[in-house]
């Protein structure tokens, strides 16, 4: 999407070259500092302490995703699904369905935390429980099970409560 938009704006490179340059620049910036969302690392660490398997599902290229995934202190993602490893980008559910398959779990037992309309749509249509977290774009009109302003101060117990309420509603 980004490459196509840049080409329409006049960038005279093919999609692969644009994606390569963007990924290279993002990786360069991530080597300096990863801009964690407030509360995200703490929540991931709390989940990791329970040994609940975690997947990172992102439309970033693998090199960028792996840089982020390998730099969450005390957290090991059981699988990382990236945009360059799927046929269909978000909002298609393929990435979430693939993550559940690689985790050997039913997607209905998964919770997705997303901050974009396309990510929320992908997670929702996959059958996962979806928690939207407000960030750069308006997600209030999306289909989600709960909507949070931040992950800061959100405990694993609160996330599990959201999950269980969503599962009860779906019954």
Identify the band that residue 23 occupies on the pLDDT scale cut at 50, 70 and 90. Answer: low
pLDDT reported for residue 4: 64
The answer to whether residue 126 scores a pLDDT higher than 70 is yes
pLDDT reported for residue 14: 77
Q: Please give the Cα distance from 89 to 73 (Å, whole number).
A: 28
Strands (E) across the chain are located at: 55-57, 79-81, 111-114, 129-133, 146-148
Q: Please give the Cα distance from 55 to 36 (Å, whole number).
A: 17
Q: Domain-by-domain residue ranges, the chain? A: 1-33, 37-170
Q: Which residue has the higher pLDDT, 13 or 156?
A: 156
pLDDT reported for residue 79: 98
Task: Using CB atoms within 10 Å of the CB of residue 80, give its burial: 0 to 12 exposed, 13 to 18 middle, 19+ buried.
Answer: buried
For the domain made up of 37-170, give the CATH fold. Answer: Rossmann fold (3.40.50)
Residue 41 has φ and ψ, to the nearest 5°, of -65, -45
Q: Which residue has the higher pLDDT, 28 or 55?
A: 55
9, 81, 95, 125, 139 from 89: Cα distances, Å: 21, 11, 8, 13, 18
Identify the band that residue 45 occupies on the pLDDT scale cut at 50, 70 and 90. Answer: very high
């Amino acid at each position: 999407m980004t490459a196509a938009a840049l080409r329409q704006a006049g960038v005279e490179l093919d999609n692969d070259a644009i994606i390569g340059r963007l990924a290279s620049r993002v990786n360069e910036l991530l080597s300096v500092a990863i801009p964690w969302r407030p509360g995200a690392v703490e929540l991931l660490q709390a989940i990791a302490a329970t040994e609940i398997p975690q997947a990172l599902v992102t439309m970033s290229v693998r090199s960028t995703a792996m840089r982020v995934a390998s730099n969450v202190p005390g957290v090991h993602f059981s699988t990382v699904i990236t945009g360059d490893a799927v046929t269909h980008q978000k909002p298609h559910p393929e990435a979430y369905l693939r993550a559940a398959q690689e985790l050997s779990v039913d997607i209905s037992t998964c919770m997705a935390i997303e901050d974009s309309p396309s990510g929320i749509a992908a997670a929702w249509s996959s059958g996962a429980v979806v928690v939207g977290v407000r960030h750069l774009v308006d997600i209030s009109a999306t289909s989600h099970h709960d909507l949070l302003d931040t992950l800061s101060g959100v405990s694993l117990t609160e996330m599990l409560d959201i999950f269980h309420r969503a599962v009860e509603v779906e019954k």
